[in-house]
Structure 1
Amino acid sequence: MFKNLRNSVLFKIGVLVLLTLLLCIPLAEIGSLINERGGSRREAAEELGQTYAGPQTLVAPLLIVPYTERWSEEQRNSAGNVTGTVGKTKSLTHMVFPETLRIEGTMAPQQRYRGIFNVLFYTFNAGMEGRFAVFDPASIPRSETGSTIEAGTPYLALGVSDLRGLDGSPALTLAGERLRFMQRVPGLGKKDAWLAGGIHAPLAGGALKAWSAREALPFTLKLGLVGQETLSIAPIADDTTAHITSPWAAPSFGGRFLASERSVTPQGFDAHWRVSSLVSAAREQVRSGVGGPQGNALETFDVTLAEPLNVYAMSTRAVKYGGLFVGLVLMAGFMFELFRKLRLHPVQYGLVGLSIALFFLLLLALSEKLLFWQAYSVAATASVSLLAVYFSSVLGGWRRGASFAAFVALLYGALYGLLASESNALLLGALLVFGMLAVLMLATRKVDWYALSNATTGQLDTRTP
């Protein structure tokens, strides 16, 4: 009776189901390895960010006006009578934001390596021009009643989240005067910590004269900035416009404000932003010290040079279909066994399933050295060739082995289609499963499974001593 059970169709199906579940164990281990390698790449990116430059947040030029507020307070005795007055002062800063700001820039991608991992960086070469409106120091708000304001020499400040990314010294011209940047200026307190982390240019010469004469201050600024993957710009002007181009064909636009116009082609991208201070809280955030030199809490518009094919994300998506692939390949082997009246041992099924599982490991290893499509082609070709040779012997003929290998090659082709079409992956995956099930049902719609099982059992019993 045990021999009859062992050779029955239902028993063989149960063994294949159990084997498929067992093969999910190495697939899960390969998935864990992919996550580990992806984590190692993220660590490499963080190390490069610490030693070279990280993602950049740019706060375009604004004027910082240091001032002293003076007032008098009455002194009273224990009876509440006024005995005199005492003068008090405190030093503060006031921010003046540009009226207009126009940014024209290009992002040139570059790759850097940490071990076997490559990390994407960019060089942002920008030209900025804008204008500060006429400013009256008397408009500075007072915190004390009856106080007077004594304004000092203003500074032009440029906020950069990681100063190590500055590519040379920015060239600044304000009201026709060439100004020189320095890293630190006196008079900035803890509240202005993010300003202390930027660069500053004290007004001098013609710029200071124009400021003192209550004139508008036009400015131009040329800037080179290196960053890692993402560039964020805070729109602090009354009217901020930006035009950024790059030869990188896989951008990702994000932040609080998306590009109003954008064009992405295989030759790169071209994007425009137009942001009004009426719809942005960036000014208030800068005044209150939100974000800081390393903070990304500011309302910004962002552009990221994303990887078109992240090999670890693609490998993770691929291995998620591993259980389905193993099941489909074992099902195909079972159909050959059933209709060709052959005998395949569970060990043979196990070896075939392991070869499918190892395809995903081979894909991961090769994708770290080759382009993803090249790694996929090599891994799939190796797997299909191995199965063709193996099944030519197991199924008793090269035609059968070739037809089985062609079925596996079709599955690999379908999987690559799923991976390449990320937006339609779910639809294509559902259609693949439905199609395979439909083919199986149509091919076996006239099969008498009871008769086939009895015939198989009888045949197998006659071959058993």
Structure 2
Amino acid sequence: MVFTAEMKFNGNFGKPNFEKLGIKEADLLWDKAALVVKTTNLKSIKSDLNIKLNNQTFTFESKEEEDNFYGTLETGAFDYKTLAANNKLDFNFTMKYNGSNSVKFIPIGKTTQISLNSDWESPSFEGMFAANDTTKTISNKGFHADWKILHINRSFSQQYDSKIPNLNGYSFGVKLIETVDEYQQNERASKYGFLVIGLTFLIFFLIQSVNKINIHIFQYTMLGLALIMFYTLLISITEHSSFSLAYLIASVAVIGMIVLYSVSILKTKKFPLFIGLSLAGLYSFIYVIIQLENYALLVGSIGLFIILGLVMYFSRKIDWNNTAN
């Protein structure tokens, strides 16, 4: 999953309380102040970064650090006392970011508010803090989510006089997921292979039992190989087309082969037609299950119940004792 994020940041700094850190203001180098941004992937930033501090513009530059996890961007030095009128420093900047899989944040502000809008329709919200349920929306047009985290909601201090500690455990955000992609659909289709092969053999066995037709083990083997070829065709065609088209081509090809082969071994056209219709219905049923997400188990269970009922109905009058003899 890849995405392009247009991110806008704004906030403000108040005058730091150095008494809590045991530092005297007279020892501070106010003209050496700098603003730092940390991110996990500097190479994903696709725009120049300029930040406005009380309407003065500064440029971020990469900074080499010992931290192997985060990349660091830092402004040039500025005089905090001169720039921060009334002990308040407002800031705002934008960032264009190409990422993959997820976007997450760490709430280092005394109050951290995030509003996220996307056209992706299947998000997974994760991390330390949950999105606001009253404003969160998800639809086939995308999603919206808001977070508000106060400093009392997380267990780390607002100020440090040395290296910033490891805060990875406090991250939160959204992961973009693709619920059913083409390869997942192929995988799900293959899981029903035993069902398709088993029911097809059962149909031939019932026809053989009712009409006293002998079907050789070699012919059963050919039928099984034809059914297995469906999955080979499906995944190979999917790589060059859509799953739906590949499913249609593979199912029509396999059903056609089995019907034509059935005409030769059953010596009639009535039963091969019934077999073809049964396989078409079975493949259609499995396709519907594969496309479903929330109701796949329910629909599959109901369908299997109906199939079992049909098998019991058509086999109810077979005298299995005479068949065995």
Scaled to the shorter chain, the TM-score interval is 0.7 to 0.9
Q: What residue in structure 1 maps to residue 144 of structure 2?
A: 270
Of 213, 217, 220, which residue of structure 1 is paired with 2:89? 217
Q: What residue in structure 1 maps to residue 117 of structure 2?
A: 245
How far did residue 326 of structure 1 move? 1.0
How far did residue 334 of structure 1 move? 0.8
More strand by share: 1
Is 1:304 aligned to residue 175 of structure 2?
Answer: yes
- Superposed, 1:41-440 pairs within 5 Å as 120-141=1-22, 149-152=27-30, 153-184=32-63, 190=66, 193=67, 197-204=71-78, 209-211=82-84, 215-260=87-132, 261-281=135-155, 289-290=165-166, 297-440=168-311
Cα RMSD, aligned residues only? 2.8
Aligned equivalents of 1:285 and 1:263: distance in 2? 35
Does the CA-based 8 Å contact 2:121-2:140 persist in structure 1?
yes
How far did residue 314 of structure 1 move? 2.4
Q: Aligned to 2:126, what secondary structure does the other structure show?
A: strand
Indicate the larger mover: 437-446 or 147-156: 147-156
How far did residue 139 of structure 1 move? 4.2
How far did residue 138 of structure 1 move? 4.2
Aligned equivalents of 1:347 and 1:356: distance in 2? 14
1:119-169: CA deviation from partner (whole Å, max 9, x where unpaired):
x31111111111112324444335xxx998434522111111110011121
How far did residue 453 of structure 1 move? 3.6
Does the CA-based 8 Å contact 1:179-1:204 persist in structure 2?
no
Computing the radius of gyration from Cα coordinates, the structure with the larger value is: 1
Does the CA-based 8 Å contact 1:285-1:298 persist in structure 2?
no
Aligned equivalents of 1:285 and 1:306: distance in 2? 36
Q: Aligned to 2:62, what secondary structure does the other structure show?
A: coil
Aligned equivalents of 1:284 and 1:175: distance in 2? 22
Q: Which amino acid aligns with 1:210?
A: L
Aligned equivalents of 1:181 and 1:251: distance in 2? 31
How far did residue 404 of structure 1 move? 0.4
Query: CA 1:368–1:304 in 2, change beyond 3 Å: closer, same or farther?
Result: farther
How far did residue 415 of structure 1 move? 1.3
How far did residue 281 of structure 1 move? 4.2
TM-score, structure 1 normalization? 0.62
TM-score, structure 2 normalization? 0.87
Does the CA-based 8 Å contact 1:136-1:214 persist in structure 2?
no
Query: CA 1:351–1:290 in 2, change beyond 3 Å: closer, same or farther?
Result: same
Does the CA-based 8 Å contact 2:206-2:315 persist in structure 1?
no
Give the length in aligned residue pairs.
320
Aligned equivalents of 1:148 and 1:195: distance in 2? 35
Does the CA-based 8 Å contact 2:182-2:243 persist in structure 1?
yes
Query: CA 1:290–1:390 in 2, change beyond 3 Å: closer, same or farther?
Result: same
Query: CA 1:409–1:282 in 2, change beyond 3 Å: closer, same or farther?
Result: farther
Q: Which amino acid aligns with 2:197?
A: V
Aligned equivalents of 2:159 and 2:224: distance in 1? 58
Does the CA-based 8 Å contact 1:282-1:299 persist in structure 2?
no
Q: Aligned to 1:126, what secondary structure does the other structure show?
A: strand
Aligned equivalents of 2:42 and 2:88: distance in 1? 29
1:400-449: CA deviation from partner (whole Å, max 9, x where unpaired):
22210111111111212222223333333333333322221222223321
Query: CA 1:451–1:270 in 2, change beyond 3 Å: closer, same or farther?
Result: same
Q: Aligned to 1:423, what secondary structure does the other structure show?
A: coil
Query: CA 1:447–1:336 in 2, change beyond 3 Å: closer, same or farther?
Result: closer
Does the CA-based 8 Å contact 1:309-1:372 persist in structure 2?
no
Does the CA-based 8 Å contact 1:241-1:275 persist in structure 2?
yes
Query: CA 1:442–1:264 in 2, change beyond 3 Å: closer, same or farther?
Result: same
Does the CA-based 8 Å contact 2:110-2:151 persist in structure 1?
yes
Does the CA-based 8 Å contact 1:138-1:149 persist in structure 2?
no
Query: CA 1:281–1:408 in 2, change beyond 3 Å: closer, same or farther?
Result: farther
Indicate the larger mover: 280-289 or 132-141: 280-289
Aligned equivalents of 2:232 and 2:22: distance in 1? 66
Aligned equivalents of 2:71 and 2:139: distance in 1? 37
Query: CA 1:444–1:370 in 2, change beyond 3 Å: closer, same or farther?
Result: same
Question: What is the identity percentage for the equivalent residue pairs of Structure 1 and Structure 2?
Answer: 24
Does the CA-based 8 Å contact 2:34-2:78 persist in structure 1?
no
Aligned equivalents of 2:142 and 2:225: distance in 1? 42
Q: Which amino acid aligns with 1:335?
A: L
Query: CA 1:382–1:217 in 2, change beyond 3 Å: closer, same or farther?
Result: same
Aligned equivalents of 1:285 and 1:324: distance in 2? 62
Query: CA 1:268–1:196 in 2, change beyond 3 Å: closer, same or farther?
Result: closer
Structure 2: stretches of 5+ with no match in the other structure: none
Query: CA 1:304–1:418 in 2, change beyond 3 Å: closer, same or farther?
Result: same
Indicate the larger mover: 165-174 or 391-400: 391-400
